[in-house]
Amino acid sequence: MRPTLRLVLLGALALAVVVVMPLVGGHVLPWSVLADPRGTDPAAVIFWQIRVPRVLAAFVGGAGLALGGAVFQAIFRNPLATPYTLGVASGASLGVAVASSLGLSLVVGGLSTNSVAAFAGALLAVGVIWVLTRLRPGISSTALLLAGVAMNFFFSSLILFVQYTASLGDSYRIIRWLMGGLGGVDLYTLANMTPVVVLGAVAVARYARELDLLATGPEIAASRGVAVARTRTRLFLATSVMVGGAVAACGPIGFVGMMAPHICRFLVGSHHRLLLPASALFGGAFLVLCDTVARLVLFPAELPVGVITAFLGAPFFLWLLVRRVVPGTHG
């Protein structure tokens, strides 16, 4: 099957997931609510004002995290590089942890405190990586990856510190947030994150060709005409904006960012023109499915979605690795 066709099919599947999942829940809603967006009966209200924003937010968040993973894997030429492993997500988490324990109010231009704090943290993490690439222009991607991992640990220790010194209530709120979840997501959150993630996604898509070349190696990319340092800086910035937006809304959900690009490389190949949209669609649909499971398992209570993504994703990914379908993993 042609890769383009596979992308179209993936798109159709993702659309189906987004349409069907809001119907699924503790109470399965009838199809008829679809035709009644302004309805006032309980089913229509649950569907349009609670479940649809939540499903859309899960989709946008999952798409943002997956795109971030695809970009980082190309820039670092390493299958383990994701915003999560490189400390961007933990930077964002640190921002939120600090803001909640200090009771900061950082509402900027309609963005919530958590969003602003997550952004600041994500930018901080990306800033450190970026400074490293500038201080040592020839730095290997392995060294950068190690630096990112070290930073991840550093931020994690700061988060632990903040949590340890915080009041019991704040500490619980931080833990709860770190598990990731879409429970509190409403139209307002959705309206906050969507423009940010879309903006980052468009910026990243603009660099699809450059990403192909960067993935073949920085020297080749430079000799083919890519302004490597400038391109990397812009991609870092776009990714941190995107991941900051996603993490601010959904919490630091791991694994989507690593898994989605790998599976999509198997589906549509390594060209970022196809890989980027495929990763976004897959990551988005996957998070929607996980969130649906999270809503259902303990109904009427719900699980944090972060518990589900890796619980379902990791065994699936291991199975793919054993079946040798993930490109670039052959010994």
Partner 1 sequence: MSDPAIITEGLCVVLDETEILKDVSMTVGRGEFLTVIGPNGAGKSTLLRCLDGILEPSAGRVIIDGRPLGDYERRELARTVSYVPQPDSGSLDFTVRSYVEMGRYPHLGAWAALTEADAEAVVESMELTEVAGLADRTMSSLSGGERQRASIAAALAQGGSVLLLDEPTSFLDYRHQVKILDLLDRLHRDEGLTVVAVTHDLNSTVAFSDEVLALKDGKVAATGKPADLLDADALAAIYDADFRLISGGHRGLPLVLPARNGS
Q: Which residues bind partner 1 (CB under 8 A)?
A: 77, 138, 206, 209, 212-213, 216-217, 219-220, 222-227, 265, 269-271, 327-328, 330
Phi-psi region of 180 (alpha: psi -120 to 50; beta: other; left: phi over 0): left
What single letter denotes the amino acid at residue 189? T
Q: How far apart are the C-alpha atoms of 76 and 115, rounded to whole Å?
A: 27
What interhelical angle do 168-178 and 88-102 show, nearest 10?
160
What's the CA gap between 122 and 241, in Å, rounded?
8
Q: Which two tokens stand for residue 214?
A: 């960067």
Q: Which helix (H) or strand (E) holds 31?
A: none
CA neighbor of 91 nearest in space, from 277, 196, 294, 236? 236
CA atoms within 13 A on the CB side of 88: 34
8 A C-beta contact, residue 254 and residue 306: yes
